[in-house]
Each structure stands twice: as structure tokens, then as C-alpha cells.
Structure 1
Amino acid sequence: MISTRFRLSAVALAALLAGGAAAQTAATAPMNRIVQDNAYQQLDYFFKKLVAEKEAIVIDGYAPFKAGDKFLPGKVAAGLGHVLLNSAKDDPALPQRLRDYRDIADMTVGMDNHTWGIYYYIGTLVKLKEAGLLEQAVSPATLEKLRKQLDWRTFVTVPQYDLINLPTNYYGVAFSIARLRMLMGWEDDSGSKILLDKMLTHYKKYSGKFGFSDETDGEGRFDRYSILLIAEICERFLETGLQPTPELKGLLRKAADIALNVSNTAGDGFSFGRSLGPYGETALVEILSVSAYLDVLTADEKQYAYAFSSRVAARYMDFWYDPAMHSLDMWGKGRRTDAYRGKHRILGENFSLLHQLIYTNDTWNKAGMKDAPPKADLQAWLDRTRPQFSTTTFAQGEYDRALTIFRDGKHVVSLNIINGGISQHDNSPYYPLPFAPGIVSGIADSGSAHPQLLPKFTMADGTQLIGTAWIKDIKTSQAGQRYTVSYRQDELDRLGKKGPVKDGRIKLQTTYTLEHGQLTRNDVYTPVGTQEVEKITLEFASFSEQPSIDGGTVTFAKGDVNGYSVTGLQQCQVAPTNGSKDYMAPYGAMKTLVTCGTGKLTMKEPLTIKWIIKYH
């Protein structure tokens, strides 16, 4: 049953999401109440369903144990473990829950469980041991099997300590497992010491002098995870009984600044890169909660970071959770997520997000905010204390990588200028676009068939080019309340391969202008010699509706964006998206597609293509 207190917060949040008068002041329930009154009920539902249906469990038409989710046994152990750990010792239902947990552990012990699944599982065993529940919750035979299975050596070579076909951030997972094995009494600390050194060496190598981790081996992919990773490292220290060093806290402060700069009253999260939706929101809560606990935030920042975190928790229950499904919904209602978070993983996704909400809530509780009423004047505080425009440099050298954030009332615009690199360069969440919820969004795993807001050149030889990867000389400037971001590309990205390919036939100079209610992109494409172009296309998939078009200008009667205009291309047309999967954001469907283009041309002179988005 959802408490009355939370139902009131849901009304406030609905007004807030609708942009009503309540948006400036709408407070929500304390985070601890939202989690206690909702997250545990959701876990309890899954617990009972698993007890009844065992490995044949079906959720909204999907059979999780038949879907090849390699983390699922660990996530099940963690999710159901939270129910045990949250039960009072004298709860008459606890003995049966412990017996049921034991049966489910016996059932899953023979299933594939890799890396993160191992981490989730062993972390739960340590907590059950500390609570004095381990012997009742896991049979001796299953515990002995788990002692052999829950081992970092399943994905790290010994004695070389190399990861086996995994990205380097998995050193953090391996380190945690080694420390947790030590806390279980299953090994000494020698392995964890080497893995700690490997983890920190990796972080330094891939974060360079600016402190944010490249997701690739130097290609320049910086996304949500690049900012979150330092918070995860600090969490790994704390959960295994170590204190993060002053250097790590200094790096965490940089991540906290970004998290505060994108905070908002709607509970929206990161808007660029992969794995967004609720994960883009809980990532910010992870950064802010551990920052508060480690006193990396000021007392004032802590209060408002907590207010934002409470709104994220409320948004999860109000927006992402579907009571009719008894599940999180990242897949219906016009929403689209990355393929590796597909609906076949529905049970694991519920468990991992509820786990994130529970442990970040625990961190806030330990930071002194248990049941504290969240500050109601979050928007006013953000307007007063956070910069209207900020730039975070990720990398400099032959190519520049940076994130600029522009705050405009309730809107937060994130222009992330990076290289998606292998497997992501042609996906729109990695394009250098001014992402803002309800205004501009990327599309998960979009590919390059419909590049969002980037002109696509189809050359006479059939190759297709867009300006995404080879960015140089990022510069920012300010004139009053108008901010300018510019950069150049000596090569465009030739599409069609897994990674970006340089094509030097056309150079590009891009200038963004960000100001109240308006985003402008001005591109100057300069041919090297004479270039034969078959066609140029430019698409904008907008959340706004009821369009009318006059030449290159579209006005919308409904939605945050009320105007979009294009110059430099010959013709534009508008059409409804009709629910096409090609035009869905993590949080809902785009409604209108504006397509502009030019036919064959011989490029001898620079060509300027400009678009302007106007919004409420």
C-alpha cells in the first residue's frame, strides 16, 4: 500500500512534471519514506512471486531465467536479501522468509552468474553474515558452492592480474569481490591489494589530468559512467571497510559539481550517452549521496542534493514504476532503452534499480538525512547558487573533449562534445548536441539512418559523412546572457564501420549559441577542392506536436519546443512519427519529424547550414 504521505508527493510531482505553478515549490516526501513505503513492497512482491513460480517465473510476458541474464542470480540474492535485512528480528514472517530465501539460493546456485552478479551476491552474503542471518538464509552445501563460484579469479588471470576480455573498469568489481571474500573469511587481503593498485592505476591512466575516465582506450568517449566511476570507487572503499584517500575525495568533488549543475526539480538525470532513463537519474543520486557522506559537499549543498535525490526517488515510483505491471517500465509507453537493457532482463533491472535506491537511501540516512523533510525551494537554490553556464574539460590534445552545461530556469541543457568511438560513434546519444529533457534527446542504439540534428552528407560515391568524432579547439565565450561554444573538425566521420573513420573531403566549423529560450547551431562546411555531393539531409525528431510549416520554419502549438527553423538547405517537410521505434527517447516518444534536405550539388565554396530551436 502506498502511504498517504507519498500520494500527496505524487500529486505535487505531477504538477511539477506538467510545468504547473507548483513546479517552483513542490516538495516531495523524505527519501527514506519513499523507499520504505514503496521499494520494499516491490521487492516483497517479487519475493512471493519467485517462491510461487521458481525458475518458471514470468513477468509481463517475459521469462527472466530463460533470457541468459548473466547477472541475475546475484541480483536476485541482493534484491531478496534487502527484504530479509529490512525485517525486524521479531517479525513473525522472518523465519519463513529465511527458508524461502534458502530454497531460492539452492535453485540459482547452478545458474550462470558473472562479474557484477558475483559482486551483488557476495555483498549480500557479507551483510547477512553481519546481521547473524547467513546460516539460516543459505544452506551449508550451497554456501560451499558459492565460496568457489563467487570469485574474482573467474574473470581475472593469476598471477598476471589481467582482465579476461572485459573493459578496465571491471578492476573495481574484482577489487570489491576480493575485499568481500576477505570479509567472508574466504581469502586473505593479498589479492585485493594488487587489484586496488590495478584499479587506481587504470583510473589515473584513463582519466588523465582532468579526472574523468575515458570509457575507451583513449578514443575520447566520456559519458554518464565517466562521471559516476569515481563515486563507485569511493563506495567500494566504504563498503569494504576502507576510507577513500584525499585524492579520491578531490576527484569526487569534480563529479559532484557536475551532478549539482545538472540537478533540477523534475528529478531528471543525465541526458547524454548510453544507459539513461532511471539509470541516468540514480547515477546522480549515487554521486551526491556518497559526496554528502564523505563531507565533500558543504552543509548547504548537502540539504539541496538530498532534496534532489528525494525527487529522483519519487520520480522512480511515479514515472518509471508501473503498478499494473508490478514492474519498472523502460520499454513501453513510447520509451526505448539500450539493447543490453532489453525487456528480457526485466527482473534483473527491477532488482538493480531498487538496490541502487535502497543503498543510496542508506547512505543518505548515514549522512544524517533519515526522514528529513526535503527543502521545498530547490529551484530557487539552484538558480541562486549554480552557474548558468559551466564547462568541464575531459581531455585536451590532438582532439578536445568537454561537457558544457547551460541552465535556463527549469531546463538543463547538456552539450557533451566527445567521440562515441567504437560501437557508439554513430548513435545519437553520443552526438555533440544540446540535450535537454523534452527539448532534444538522443535515441538509444539509433545508428546513423536518422542522425538527430546533424546534417548527413551522402557523397557521389555513396559514402555518408557526419560531424561527430574528430573535434578540435573547443572554445567558449559569453556576451551578457548569451553563451557561445565553438569547435572545428578537419575530418568528418565516414559512416558504416563499427568505429569512426576519418574522411578529409569536407572540413567543419561549428558554433553553438545558448541563450534564454533558444538554442542555435551554425555549421560551416568547407570542401577540400571540389566535392560532388549526392544529397544532404537534416532530421529533427521533436517531442512537440501540432506543427505548421512555412518554408524552413516550423512552429508547434503543443510541447516545450515552440519553434524550429533551418537555413542553408532547400526544402523542409513535417510528418508525425506515428509511434516509430526510430523516434523514441528513454522517457517517451518523439511526436513530430522535421526533415530538411538538398539534392545534388557540386561543392566549391563553404556551405553554411544553421538551425534554431526555440522553447518555452
Structure 2
Amino acid sequence: MRSPRKSIGRCAVSTLTLLLMSACGSGTDDANQPPAPTPTPTAAPSLHAIVYGASDTSVPRGTDVPITMMGQMRALFDLIRKSPDFTQVVMDLGDGTPVHVLDTNTGDKFLPGKLALGLSYILIDMKAKGDPKYADYLATYQKITTAMMAQPSGGNYTYANTSWGEYYYLVALNNFKAHGMLNEVFSDTMLATLQNRLTFCDMFGADSSGKTNTCPAAGVPIDVASLNTAQNYYAVSYGIAGLRQKLGWSNPTFSSATDPAVATMNARDALLYTLTNHIRNDSSGGFSDEASNTHTTYYDKARFDRYSTLLIGEVVERTLEMGNEANLTPELKGYLRKSVDLILPQLNADGEGFNYGRSIGPYGDSAFMEVLTAAANAGVLTPQEMQIAYTFIYKAARRYETFWYDPTLPTPSVNMWVKGRGTDTYRGKPRVMGENFSLLHQYMYVDAWWSKLGFGGKAPMADSDYQAWLDARPRYTLTWYNQPTDTAHPYSAALLTVRDGNRVINLNLSQAPDYNSFTPYYPVPFSDKLIYGTTDLGYALLIPQVSYNGKTYIPVT
């Protein structure tokens, strides 16, 4: 995300007044698996033109981006392939501290899965085209995946590939299977290793060090309540269980001390059941409270942010991805629609997404995109909203290519770290390669779904028509995360969205107990190019500070 401006000016100050009185003025395969991008010519401009491009993945004429997303993926593959030792690959962002992104001490525990998935797009594409270099790239892929799945021999070996990494790896395996390539890419021995390693067990239970990466003995169930991370990781484990089941692999079973029904379900359905209860019980508005797993009293809860809205989009997308549509209930679709209703008033002509809370920047943009895509697939958008959603996603993809992706860096890359930008420690510079892969994957799978929905190669709405729809949005929208009449949740939380001409202003009112000292959670208005928080920093924006007895106090919670 961008660092704050040095001066916010008079317009920013009167923006706070806007929320009370007036504005200061506006600114300016199989049936269930998305196919890999197809090597067919595409009209420009379109989402497919930005993501895949022409038949050779180059930028089609009339599409004003420096490179397609497939082109970026191929460049990363070539960077690895040309290195004498792939663990010594360097990405240089031009700030004087190049990163050895594949070194075993990077600490990116999702990287093996991200590599397996990201590079699989190139292999599938090359195979479909009969590319004569396919064998060389396949050999590189097999070398990398084999080394990263080797058993650690001790020391600080960090290719653990936990949680999200396991999910990404299983997406790659299912995509290979859908294209008849699974047994060509992976040996039987390697598949046996992956079947043993790619489980959700590392997210449940605990050993003397606090976590365990091994499943219990066969036939011994896992307590579904023993999740040792944030409750949104139920969605990650749900994706893992469902994709394992789709491959024909067995899953560990679950038990529950409070709900015997869990023990009668397969792991996939037990996790969806538990996840649904999380969304249902931790708010009355359908949004997940992401502080609910660590605090026992409600006044210590109420962290509603980007992920509270995105979680249901991921759940629905995973459900479709694994072919579990039978369990896509009206309740889940209703929660998804609430996320849509929070997002629609925030849409804009620049493809910008969430501007408050953590994990924003390019992930704030792609969160809007993922929720809208899930909603389109689940049938909860009107035909007009489908057109609007596709147009916004096109603009978000173009924004990624022309703003977040920086081809002028010594190693071209998504940029969340240099030239005045900063992000949270969770996505620090050592994860630079993995962030490229995961963001590119998001756009690639979204493009595949929209192609299946009949939008492949289609141009977005005309800017004038899109702008007219935006101009017709309500000036003020109040979205309750939980209803004030809900006696079980006595401290309400809500989002106020104000549209002031072309400007979107958000005032997020939630307590964020574990993050309330950080700027993106302060109860002040945020608006792109005007006021924008920097994750993990605690400077005050538009908030008085009181110094007393050597300490500084800020009235925020």
C-alpha cells in the first residue's frame, strides 16, 4: 500500500466534517474446474486481454499494459530456470537489499504451493500449444517441486508449505488432472508424498511447541474446535479437504465435544458446517468477526475488516472449485449477497478496492474482484450487476498492471515495498516472489470463471455507462456488521460509505482489539489519494493526541 502523503490539505480536514454536515468537494477440463487460459486470439480491450493476451501471451494491440499476467508468470519461471541453483534466485527491488527469494531461510511457508500453482499455468499452456521447450520447463518444474518437498534434514529448513501453501498446491494438482497431465508431471512416489503432506493437520491441535504438522493416527478424529490459528483458516482447511476429496484422497475425520453432528460428516462438509457456524454466530449481519477466536468477551471483539467481507467469497469460490455446489445453501448465498451490498456502493472508475484495515493495497483491490466473481457464479447478481462487476474487475486488472506492477524495478515485480510504499510484516519483502504468484493466480482464476460465464474476450461497459451507474449510487450507505438490536452482540460495528462525486469515503467503526493501535483501524474516514493508512504503523490521522506524564494517549477505543 502507499505511504501517507506528507500533507493532507484542507480538503482532508473538511472530509471529516463531510460525514456530519457537507462535503469539501469531489475528486476525480471438468464442469467444476476453471480451465487454464486458452491460447486463442482475443479482442482488446478485455479482462482476458490483460490476463492472457494474444495467442502467444503478448499484449494485444490496443491494450495499454506493459505485459500480460501470463507474461509475468513466464518471466518468473525463466528467472528460476536460468539460475544455476534455484535456491539462490535473487529478486532485486532496487533498494540496495536484494532478496534471495527461494533460500530455505526465507520463512515463506506458502512458497512451495505458490510455486507449484503459478508455474503450472505455464506448463499447461505450453503443453496445449505443443511448445518444443515444454520438456525443458517440465524438468525444471519437477526439480523444484521435488526439492521443496524433500524431508528436512535439520536446521532452519522452512519449506514447510503450511495452510495456504497446501491449498495452492492442491489447486495445481487438480488443474493438472483436469488437463490429463497429473501423472506426466508427478511420479507415483511424488504423488504419495504429496498425499501425505498436503493436509490441514498443521492447522489443528498442538504439540509442545504449540503446533503439529502431523495428522493423528488413522481412525483417530481431530477435534474440530482445536484450530490453532484465526478462524478464517477454517476456509483454507475446507479448501484443502475438498480438493483432496476431488483427487480421490482420503481425509482425517473430525469430532466435536459440543456438536456430535460433526462426527457424522466427511471432513469437507464438517469444515463447511463449522465455518458457517462461525459466520452465523460471530455477527448478526453475516460478516465474520476476525477477532472472535482470541477473545472471550464481546467488548474485546469486533474486528471487522477486509477479510470479514472476503471470507464468504472465498468459501463460495472453494465450494464451486471442488464441485460441492449441493452444499451451497441459501444461507451462504445470503451472506455473500451482504458482502456484495457492502462492496457495490464503494465501486469506482479506477479499480480500487478496500482502503481500510490490514491486507489492503493490491489485495484490497483483488478482494472486491473475488467477492464479485463468486457472486456472479452463485447467481446472486442481477444481469446489470454482472456487467458492472465485470467492468470493475477489468479496471482492477488494469490497475494491477499499470500501478501495482512495476516493470522499472531491476527485477520487475508487484511493488508493495519500495518507492514510498509499505505493507504489513506478514507480507514483508522476503515474500516478494510468493506475492507475485498469489496475486497473478487470483486474476487468472477470475478470468477463467468470467470466460465460463460468457465474458471471455468481451470489452467492459463503456466508461460513460459505467459512470452513470456509479453516479446513481446512494450518497450515504450504512452497513451494519451486527445489528444494534442483537442482544448477544451489544457493541455494534458498522461501515459508513459516502459518495462525494467521484470520491468514495469510508468510515469503518469497529473495535479491532488486536489492531486498534495501527493507523488503518482508526475511526477516521479513509479515501484513496486523500487519507490512506499504512499497516503496522501507529501515527494518528485526524485524531487528537494527549501527552501526559511521558505517555501519549489517543481516544480510539
TM-score interval, normalised by the smaller of the two chains: 0.7 to 0.9
Question: What aligned pairs does 1:162-173 form with structure 2 within 5 A after superposition?
Answer: 162-173=225-236
Structure 2 counterpart of 1:49: 79
1:458 aligns with 2:547: yes
TM-aligned CA deviation for residue 378 of structure 1:
5.1
Question: What aligned pairs does 1:486-505 form with structure 2 within 5 A after superposition?
Answer: none
Residue aligned with 2:505, SS: strand
Residue aligned with 1:65, SS: coil
TM-aligned CA deviation for residue 463 of structure 1:
4.3
Distance 2:245 2:377 in 1: 25
1:141 aligns with 2:171: no
1:40 aligns with 2:70: yes
Distance 1:104 1:370 in 2: 33
Residue aligned with 2:223, SS: coil
Residue aligned with 1:405, SS: strand
TM-aligned CA deviation for residue 160 of structure 1:
1.3
Structure 2 counterpart of 1:573: none
Q: 1:253 aligns with which of 330, 337, 348?
A: 337
Structure 2 contact 347–470 (Cα < 8 Å) conserved: no
Distance 2:322 2:423 in 1: 32
1:285 aligns with 2:369: yes
Distance 1:319 1:245 in 2: 38
Residue aligned with 1:393, SS: strand
- Structure showing the higher strand proportion among its residues: 1
Q: 1:177 aligns with which of 207, 228, 240?
A: 240
Residue aligned with 2:528, SS: coil
TM-aligned CA deviation for residue 302 of structure 1:
0.9
1:320–1:384: structure 2 CA closer, same or farther, 3 Å change rule?
closer
Structure 2 counterpart of 1:236: 318
Length-normalised TM-score, structure 2: 0.76
TM-aligned CA deviation for residue 177 of structure 1:
0.8
> 1:404 is matched by which residue type in structure 2?
L
Q: 2:517 aligns with which of 420, 426, 431?
A: 426
Distance 2:183 2:135 in 1: 12
Structure 2 counterpart of 1:75: 114
Give a deviation string over 1:311-345, Cα, whole Å, max 9, x none: 11001111111113321111112111111111111
Give a deviation string over 1:90-115, Cα, whole Å, max 9, x none: 33333333222212211211321100
> 1:412 is matched by which residue type in structure 2?
V
Structure 2 counterpart of 1:104: 144
Aligned length in residues = 439
Residue aligned with 2:481, SS: strand
Distance 2:339 2:274 in 1: 22
Residue aligned with 2:495, SS: strand
Structure 2 counterpart of 1:215: 290
Distance 1:340 1:351 in 2: 16
TM-aligned CA deviation for residue 368 of structure 1:
1.6
Give a deviation string over 1:487-538, Cα, whole Å, max 9, x none: xxxxxxxxxxxxxxxxxxxxxxxxxxxxxxxxxxxxxxxxxxxxxxxxxxxx
> 1:238 is matched by which residue type in structure 2?
L
Q: 1:63 aligns with which of 82, 100, 119?
A: 100
Give a deviation string over 1:23-78, Cα, whole Å, max 9, x none: 99xxx821111001311111111112112221111111101123110100000011
The structure whose RCO (Cα within 8 Å, separation 6+) is larger is 2
Residue aligned with 1:290, SS: helix
Structure 1: gaps (5+ residues): 1-22, 470-616
Q: 2:490 aligns with which of 398, 401, 407?
A: 398
Structure 2 counterpart of 1:297: 381
> 1:29 is matched by which residue type in structure 2?
P
TM-aligned CA deviation for residue 379 of structure 1:
4.8
Structure 2 contact 316–378 (Cα < 8 Å) conserved: no
Residue aligned with 1:77, SS: helix
Structure 2 counterpart of 1:368: 454
> 1:48 is matched by which residue type in structure 2?
D
Structure 1 contact 264–379 (Cα < 8 Å) conserved: no
Structure 2 contact 276–332 (Cα < 8 Å) conserved: no
Structure 1 contact 379–410 (Cα < 8 Å) conserved: no
1:384–1:329: structure 2 CA closer, same or farther, 3 Å change rule?
closer
Structure 1 counterpart of 2:6: none
1:195 aligns with 2:271: yes
Give me the CA root mean square deviation: 1.8
TM-aligned CA deviation for residue 250 of structure 1:
1.4
Distance 1:51 1:148 in 2: 28
Q: 1:445 aligns with which of 532, 536, 553?
A: 536
Distance 1:79 1:145 in 2: 20
Structure 1 contact 213–222 (Cα < 8 Å) conserved: yes
> 1:421 is matched by which residue type in structure 2?
P
Distance 2:182 2:362 in 1: 31
Distance 2:222 2:378 in 1: 34
Structure 1 counterpart of 2:124: 85
Q: 1:159 aligns with which of 222, 226, 250?
A: 222
> 1:65 is matched by which residue type in structure 2?
L
Q: 1:127 aligns with which of 175, 195, 205?
A: 175
Structure 1 contact 307–378 (Cα < 8 Å) conserved: no
Structure 2 contact 204–228 (Cα < 8 Å) conserved: no
Distance 1:168 1:410 in 2: 36
1:265–1:425: structure 2 CA closer, same or farther, 3 Å change rule?
same
Stretches of 4+ moved more than 6 A in 1?
none
> 2:82 is matched by which residue type in structure 1?
A
Structure 2 contact 117–169 (Cα < 8 Å) conserved: yes
1:258–1:213: structure 2 CA closer, same or farther, 3 Å change rule?
same
Give a deviation string over 1:582-614, Cα, whole Å, max 9, x none: xxxxxxxxxxxxxxxxxxxxxxxxxxxxxxxxx
Structure 1 contact 388–407 (Cα < 8 Å) conserved: yes
Distance 1:184 1:58 in 2: 35
1:357 aligns with 2:357: no
TM-aligned CA deviation for residue 384 of structure 1:
4.0
Q: 1:380 aligns with which of 460, 464, 467?
A: 467
> 1:134 is matched by which residue type in structure 2?
L
Percent identity between the two aligned chains: 38
Distance 1:363 1:227 in 2: 20
Larger radius of gyration: 1
Q: 1:224 aligns with which of 306, 310, 327?
A: 306
Residue aligned with 1:437, SS: coil
Structure 2: gaps (5+ residues): 1-26, 29-43, 54-67, 93-97, 151-158, 206-220, 252-264, 293-297
Once structures 1 and 2 are overlaid, which stretch shifts more, 291-300 or 183-192?
183-192
1:259–1:143: structure 2 CA closer, same or farther, 3 Å change rule?
same
TM-aligned CA deviation for residue 85 of structure 1:
2.6
